[in-house]
Structure 1
Amino acid sequence: MTIKLQSLNSVLLEKAAERLNARKGELSKTRTAIITGMTAEIDSDERLKLYQKRQATLALSEGCPVPPQPPIFEETPTDLTKLGQEALIGTSNDLLPIEFFEYGLYAARSVGRIEHVEGLRFGTGFLVGHNLIMTNHHVLPNEHEARQHFFELGAEANRIGNQTPSKICSIEPDRFFWASEELDVAIVAVVDEDPGFIPLDHYGWHALIRQQGKIKKGDPINIVQHPLGRNKAVVVHNNHLLHIENGTDAHMFCWYSGDTQKGSSGSPVFNNRWEVVAVHHMAIPQTNTDGDILSKNGEPITRAMARKRPDMIAYAANEGIRTSCIVDALETAQFTKAHHADIRNWLLKTWSSPGAHRRGLRAAIRSTQAL
């Protein structure tokens, strides 16, 4: 018996699949552009202008000249016999400063594992300031469920550097809790149970940036996560933003390639500046017109095969919730508890303050100095 998407009884997945299936052509076009190295013109004019404006602003703020359009060759060759010794391949310049790796380590410190007290369920979350973490609504759907979980930082392997114990924090929804079922996001307070080890504010935090233009279609993305509830992992290969759009019924979401597994729900999706561009929430299987879930050979997969070989299920893309839409939703949220509204206001002010992204990453440097 084959598996129908509707038989999984997941409204969240059905809606995600419907959104993606309506955009299969756009995703296919982006994938082709990535393979051929021709991603420069696949995004909308509106989004490209937002992206170029933001890149120019960031370059000036960092003391760099406004980046010109990348040339076909690195320099104009005067001797054609030397043509092709070195060159930029494709239409984008993919050279990165070496601090990309260091920034990534700091960005990863604030990402932790969310675990049920009985060890039955896992998710991923990340610190966003004021001892608050962000994850998915389907990971922590309400205050009662939140109390049944804890947040663990530092659950990662380190075989060549200093291995430190992990830090476990309890979750305190009475201090703050907000969740949106529509967006599938949640923000909840955590408690530093052991400030004498490494204080929680030394793990850094991530500002959610409302401004658009942080990424364009075809750009690489990076996902820090706890797949299967195991040690922290990062995906930096074969990952690209496949589709994003404004002004439609699906403007709250974006789609990207890149591996995730159960337990990766709530992971931050980063651009190459290690800014959060989305919160991961769903991997969408490929289906045919009859709603059958497909295997990697393109045929409907049976339940027996899916149980025996889950790796044979074909997935069309991952879906994430855009940070700009999360900020908008949090700003308009109504709270019955006054102190929750106050914390929301402090958080939004923190995220929008000048240099918030770099300050959040810089806070993580202190944890390395404390070792």
Structure 2
Amino acid sequence: MSNLSGTAIAELGKLIADTLSFDDLNEFVHASTGDRLFVEYVGLGKPRRATVIELLNALEELGTTKLFLRYVYVHRPGRDDVRQAIAKQCPAALAVPDHTIAISAQTAGQLLPKTPAEAMAPGLQRNVRPYLAKLDVRVWVERLLEIERRVCRIEYAGTAAGSGVLVGPDAVLTNWHVYEAVKAAGYLADLACRFDYTRLPDNSLQAGQLVAAHPDPIDCSHYSAAETTDTPENPLPTAQELDYALLRLKSAAGEQMLNGEKRGWIVLPAAAQPLPSDAPILIVQHPEGSPMKLALDTQAVIGRNGNGTRLRYRTNTDPGSSGSPCFNMDWDIVALHHYGDPKWANPLFNQGVPIELIRQLIATNGFSGALGD
């Protein structure tokens, strides 16, 4: 056992609740212990910090706290405050070994010089792209299935206008220019979000569920004037030009029960996730109004623009993808897709708005209560 003090548990509980959503918590617990958070450790309905504290107390009794904290430490490299607290309060977490098998490269029973102990002969294995982490398959797939339930097609009178993502019990985030197009067409009274529109394994279509939206957005931010030209960076978009519309649904789709579980929503992070150059970007979208698609590129990230208000990447999109959520390989939401290279021939980038900037502006405008935790 690590024997964490009450003060240590309170400190770790606050920090971990700040960096992990409920979905993250469930995944991290499952990946590190093999058990489900809300089945083995904590009851539903508690605030996030209280849930983490109760979880840590339960893990302390079982002597497995270090396994969970090790997983948090490894999978939150951008949160130095969290990692430092884990190192201080539970040094044993840092000593948990990785699950690898040591195999030596040898010739005639002699270890080859200058080869790592875990190298495999005859072709020594290499971590060619260190930013591509190895994934827990079941955790990764289950997270994708959760996200599938929370992405929707924005439409009016049966016409597709773009994509969106559920970010609260009854709040959907999309682009302002998607909302603007519906407004210009004169169909705000028919504005709606279609969930679960997918193609099934037998190639049939699942029509999904249409949920009406209120004609007036909860909050919005326009795109920059330059983004209607061939020189979208002249001048750079400001921190108030984030091209989003936060829509209010007429029913709480996020509370809907599907196969015994709530549909749920995606929690918008307060801080940016680290995204090195060439890191993967995955986009769940309804391109050209089609059934939900996943586009991914494992060498995607180009970088942020000059003032950090846009993120550029190479992952493919089409008309209708505007308003789609962009994720890293761990399914952390990182941006809201909104734009493509204006060059008709040989386009070089797609572009999204960093999601933490959207959350910050929504909070500044006084509408953070619409977002789910």
Structure 2 vs 1, CA of residues 100 and 255 (structure 1 numbering), >3 Å: closer, same or farther? Answer: same
Q: Distance in 2 between matches of 1:161 and 1:58?
A: 50
Q: Does 1:242 align with 2:269?
A: no
Identity of aligned residues (%): 22
| CA shift for structure 1 position 158 | 1.0
Structure 2 vs 1, CA of residues 96 and 78 (structure 1 numbering), >3 Å: closer, same or farther? Answer: same
| CA shift for structure 1 position 346 | 1.9
Gaps of 5+ in 1: 1-48, 287-292, 296-313, 334-340, 352-371
Structure 2 vs 1, CA of residues 239 and 140 (structure 1 numbering), >3 Å: closer, same or farther? Answer: farther
Instruction: Give the structure 1 partner of residue 161 of structure 2.
Output: 122
Q: How many residues are aligned here? A: 259
Structure 2 vs 1, CA of residues 75 and 109 (structure 1 numbering), >3 Å: closer, same or farther? Answer: same
AA of the residue aligned to 2:355: T
Q: Does 1:77 align with 2:104?
A: yes
Alpha-carbon RMSD across the aligned residues, in angstroms, is 3.9
Q: Distance in 1 between matches of 2:85 and 2:157?
A: 43
**TM-score, normalised via structure 2 length:** 0.59
Identify the match of residue 151 of structure 1 among 179, 184, 193. Answer: 193
1:74·1:87 contact (CA, 8 Å) conserved in 2?
no
Q: Does 1:317 align with 2:349?
A: yes
Instruction: Give the structure 2 partner of residue 256 of structure 1.
Output: 313
Match of 1:328, SS state, is helix
1:51·1:216 contact (CA, 8 Å) conserved in 2?
no
Q: Distance in 2 between matches of 1:145 and 1:214?
A: 40
2:326·2:336 contact (CA, 8 Å) conserved in 1?
yes
Q: Distance in 1 between matches of 2:123 and 2:334?
A: 36
| CA shift for structure 1 position 242 | 1.3
Structure 2 vs 1, CA of residues 94 and 166 (structure 1 numbering), >3 Å: closer, same or farther? Answer: same
Identify the match of residue 177 of structure 1 among 214, 218, 231. Answer: 218
Match of 2:351, SS state, is strand
Offset from partner CA, 1:208-250 (integer Å, 9 cap, x none): 10112343322111100000001000012455111026xx5x3
Q: Distance in 1 between matches of 2:364 and 2:308?
A: 17
Q: Does 1:191 align with 2:250?
A: yes
Q: Distance in 2 between matches of 1:196 and 1:328?
A: 27
Instruction: Give the structure 2 partner of residue 306 of structure 1.
Output: none
1:169·1:193 contact (CA, 8 Å) conserved in 2?
no
Q: Distance in 2 between matches of 1:277 and 1:235?
A: 15
| CA shift for structure 1 position 58 | 11
Structure 2 vs 1, CA of residues 115 and 218 (structure 1 numbering), >3 Å: closer, same or farther? Answer: same
| CA shift for structure 1 position 146 | 4.0
Match of 1:223, SS state, is strand
Q: Does 1:111 align with 2:151?
A: yes
1:285-324 → structure 2 map (5 Å cutoff): 285-286=342-343, 293=344, 295=345, 314-324=346-356
2:359·2:368 contact (CA, 8 Å) conserved in 1?
no
Q: Does 1:89 align with 2:128?
A: yes
Offset from partner CA, 1:87-134 (integer Å, 9 cap, x none): 322444531111212211211210010112152x52000100121000
Instruction: Give the structure 2 partner of residue 53 of structure 1.
Output: 80
The answer to which of 260-269 and 204-213 deviates more is 204-213
1:206-245 → structure 2 map (5 Å cutoff): 206-238=266-298, 240-244=300-304
Q: Distance in 2 between matches of 1:67 and 1:131?
A: 43
Instruction: Give the structure 1 partner of residue 339 of structure 2.
Output: 282
Q: Distance in 2 between matches of 1:55 and 1:90?
A: 25
Instruction: Give the structure 1 partner of residue 358 of structure 2.
Output: 326
| CA shift for structure 1 position 258 | 1.0
2:193·2:211 contact (CA, 8 Å) conserved in 1?
yes
Structure 2 vs 1, CA of residues 168 and 90 (structure 1 numbering), >3 Å: closer, same or farther? Answer: closer
The answer to which of 265-274 and 101-110 deviates more is 101-110
Q: Does 1:346 align with 2:373?
A: no
Q: Distance in 2 between matches of 1:209 and 1:167?
A: 27
2:219·2:246 contact (CA, 8 Å) conserved in 1?
yes
Q: Distance in 1 between matches of 2:324 and 2:85?
A: 25
AA of the residue aligned to 2:126: A
